[in-house]
Homo-oligomer: A and B are copies of this chain.
Amino acid sequence: MERKFGLAIHGGAGTILKSLMSDELQAQYEEGLEAALNTGYTILEQGGTSVDAVEAAVASLEDFPLFNAGKGAVFNHIGGHEMDAAIMDGSTLAAGAVCGISGAKNPVIVARAVMEHSGHVMLAGEGADEFAVQQKMEMRPDDYFFTQQRYDQWQDALKEDKVQLDHTDKKFGTVGCVALDKAGNLAAATSTGGLTNKKFGRVGDSPVIGAGTYANNDTCAISCTGVGELFIRSVVAHDISCLTEYKGMSLAAAADLVVMGKLVKIGGEGGLIAIDKDGTIAMPFNSEGMYRACRDSSGRKEVLIYK
């Protein structure tokens, strides 16, 4: 009998309300989610690795302009784009991450190159960009990352001197994917443009292994989206892994305890997607909505936005 396989993706969580969404815009979001979901699923179905699947699905979400990652990334305080991404291979615990990267079309692909070719796990800032160029990653000029919607958000934030528009708007723009392949290997990847109008080279939880991104074949693979600071302080992804490994909790129970319990207690709004070594998928969130989707070899397929 063939092993179960599957994946889940997210495009960020927050105050996403049906009352504030046009039918047309909703259809666009669903289309973006479904395209990324199918990209990853096809790889898994054809016997590809979970690392290939999460990389391809996240790259697809990065290329989709409505999500805050890659094309569509928000503007920082000085009108640039500083993106963070990470990837982790649960079969080896190998990991790669970049933070504050500016010119790479797909930060998740750079993160994978960090994992496989740098001898390091995390590269930051201009150094990460240099590495991307050296690795012949696809680079793009500033105008590639321009979208009118993000520009307008940045201008509003500048006018009101809001450092963290995404916080006050309660939208945590991040994309991610977790997958289990036919060989039983887990992987996770996350990518984000961070906070509109952000200053001081702020880094969120996405590129922090154990916080926003984690995968371990013995337990599960997780990708988070939410108030990054609280996710870092709670070491969210690794905490769920440890609850299943050391306390014997189910993935759903552990994810619920962390997202609906621990995080809520400290004001950590957001959510996550998770898949365990048996192919069980969990997509809990404590905000109004989370762009999310999942598909597995048992025939389950969901594309969801609201509670």
- List chain A positions with a Cβ less than 8 A from chain B: 88, 93-95, 99-100, 118-128, 130-131, 163-164, 199-204, 208-211, 214, 228-229, 232-235, 238-239, 242-243, 246-247, 266
Contact = CB atoms under 8 A, between A and B. Distances in A.
5 contacts: A100-B124, A121-B233, A127-B201, A239-B242, A243-B246
A246 B262 CA distance: 15
B202 A123 contact: yes
Given A120-B202, A128-B201, 11 more contacts: A88-B233, A93-B266, A100-B127, A121-B203, A121-B228, A121-B232, A125-B126, A127-B200, A208-B210, A210-B235, A242-B243
Contacts of A208: 122, 208-210
Contacts of A243: 242, 246
Which 6 pairs, one residue from A and one from B, show the smallest C-beta to C-beta distance? A127-B201, A242-B242, A246-B246, A125-B125, A210-B235, A127-B200
Contacts of A199: 127, 130-131
A124 B234 contact: no
A95 B204 CA distance: 13
A140 to B, nearest CB: 20
Given A119-B164, A242-B242, A124 B203 contact: yes
A95 B233 contact: yes
A100 to B, nearest CB: 5
Contact of A121 (B229, B238, B239, B242): B229
A190 to B, nearest CB: 15
Of A100, A122, A131, A239, chain B has the most CB atoms within 10 Å of the CB of A122
B124 A201 contact: yes
A271 B123 CA distance: 23
Contacts of A118: 200, 202
B200 A93 contact: no
Nearest to A163: B119
Contact of A232 (B209, B232, B239): B209
B94 A233 contact: yes
Nearest to A78: B127
Nearest to A84: B124
A193 to B, nearest CB: 15
B119 A100 contact: no
Contacts of A229: 119-121
A307 to B, nearest CB: 27
A123 B238 contact: no
A13 B142 CA distance: 43
Contacts of A228: 121
A200 B128 CA distance: 5
Contact of A246 (B88, B99, B131, B247): B247
Contact of A202 (B88, B100, B122): B122
